[in-house]
């Protein structure tokens, strides 16, 4: 998947310095997901944070469960280098190739804000479930279709393409889990963030490594039309909504 014309890995690499400071929603979600993992009875086996980036989720887990020492898996070296984890726990690995050998018989596979970047999220999710040890857990947080409605509305009104990142269908992810195991937690969350302008939102995406337009670039004229049609609330703020799915499931 590309990010505003840049290769996704390059875009995330360029944003590495600003990512940790800007990724407040990701941090809040990681803390919440780690909290759900606090009391899980885990079998023997490795724990992995998939698409770990700078270790947001692994760090939140370590603070809430200091007994666990997760592997951090990501294919973006500059982001992974920021993770406060021992070098031997960081794995530079492309998750579109499946999971690394270290994941076999995993006690806990967790991932936050990463699965939607993979070329086939549903197929990879099935593969992840197959790598769990008996009694092992999957803990997943992922943005899903239904996000960015203001952006889509603006594109429709302006008659231009919506270049927001295509997100997986939340129910398709749940069904993929349910085909193997019954989720013990399935939560839909919606977060709405206010920005002073659409440009401020697009700038923040760039600072997160997503670039203004995740699946292509608009010409300047089309971009101006898009910005003019972007809906605002009564206080003139640009509202952007994230639709998130939290899933927790244990392999029998």
Ligand X SMILES: C[S@@+](CC[C@H](N)C(=O)[O-])C[C@H]1O[C@@H](n2cnc3c(N)ncnc32)[C@H](O)[C@@H]1O
Nearer to ligand X, 112 or 238 (CB): 112
By CB under 6 A, what part of segment 170-199 binds ligand X?
Answer: none
Give the CB-nearest residue to ligand X: 53
Side-chain-side CA neighbours of residue 251 (13 Å): 21
By CB under 6 A, what part of segment 117-176 binds ligand X?
Answer: 117-118
Nearer to ligand X, 74 or 160 (CB): 74
Choose, by CB under 6 A, the member of 4, 11, 26, 206 that binds ligand X: 26
Q: How many residues at the interface with ligand X, by CB under 6 A?
A: 21
Nearer to ligand X, 54 or 136 (CB): 54
Name the minimum Å distance from CB 16 to ligand X.
Answer: 9
Name the minimum Å distance from CB 117 to ligand X.
Answer: 3
Name the minimum Å distance from CB 228 to ligand X.
Answer: 29
3 binds ligand X (CB under 6 A): no
What is the contact mask toward ligand X in residues 51 to 80, using x (rule: CB under 6 A)?
xxx--xx----------------xxx--x-
What string of DSSP letters covers the chain?
A: -EETTEEHHHHHHHTHHHHHHH-HHHHHHHHHHHHHHTT----SS-EEEET-TTTHHHHHHHHH-TT---EEEES-HHHHTTSSS-GGGEEE--GGG---GGGTTEEEEEEES-GGGSS-HHHHHHHHHHTEEEEEEEEEEEE-BTB-HHHHHHHHHHTS---SPP---HHHHHHHHHTTS-EEEEEEEEEEEEESSHHHHHHHHHHTTS-S-TT----HHHHHHHHHH--B-TTS-EEEEEEEEEEEEE--
What is the contact mask toward ligand X in residues 80 to 119, using x (rule: CB under 6 A)?
--------------xxx---------------xxx--xx-
The binding site for ligand X (CB under 6 A) comprises 12, 23, 26, 30, 51-53, 56-57, 74-76, 79, 94-96, 112-114, 117-118
């Amino acid at each position: 998947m590309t990010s505003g014309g840049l290769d996704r890995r390059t875009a995330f690499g360029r944003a590495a310095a600003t990512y940790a400071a800007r990724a407040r929603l990701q941090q809040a979600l990681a803390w919440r997901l780690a909290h759900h993992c606090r009391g899980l009875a885990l079998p023997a086996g490795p724990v992995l944070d998939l698409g770990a980036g700078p270790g947001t989720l692994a760090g939140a887990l370590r603070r809430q469960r200091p007994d666990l020492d997760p592997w951090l898996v990501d294919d973006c070296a500059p982001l992974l280098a920021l993770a406060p984890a021992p070098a031997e726990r960081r794995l530079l690995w492309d998750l579109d190739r499946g999971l690394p050998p270290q994941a076999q018989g995993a006690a806990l596979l967790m991932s936050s804000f990463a699965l939607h970047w993979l070329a086939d999220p549903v197929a990879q999710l099935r593969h992840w479930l197959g790598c769990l040890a008996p009694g092992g857990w999957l803990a997943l947080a992922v943005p899903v279709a239904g996000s960015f409605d203001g952006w889509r509305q603006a594109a429709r009104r302006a008659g231009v393409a919506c270049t927001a990142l295509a997100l997986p269908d939340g129910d398709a992810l749940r069904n993929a889990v349910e085909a193997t195991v019954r989720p013990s937690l399935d939560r839909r969350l919606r977060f709405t963030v206010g920005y002073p302008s659409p440009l401020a939102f697009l700038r923040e995406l760039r600072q997160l490594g997503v670039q203004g337009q995740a699946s292509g670039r608009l010409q300047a004229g089309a971009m101006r039309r898009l910005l003019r049609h972007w809906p605002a609330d009564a206080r003139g703020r640009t509202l952007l909504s994230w639709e998130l799915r939290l899933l927790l499931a244990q392999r029998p």
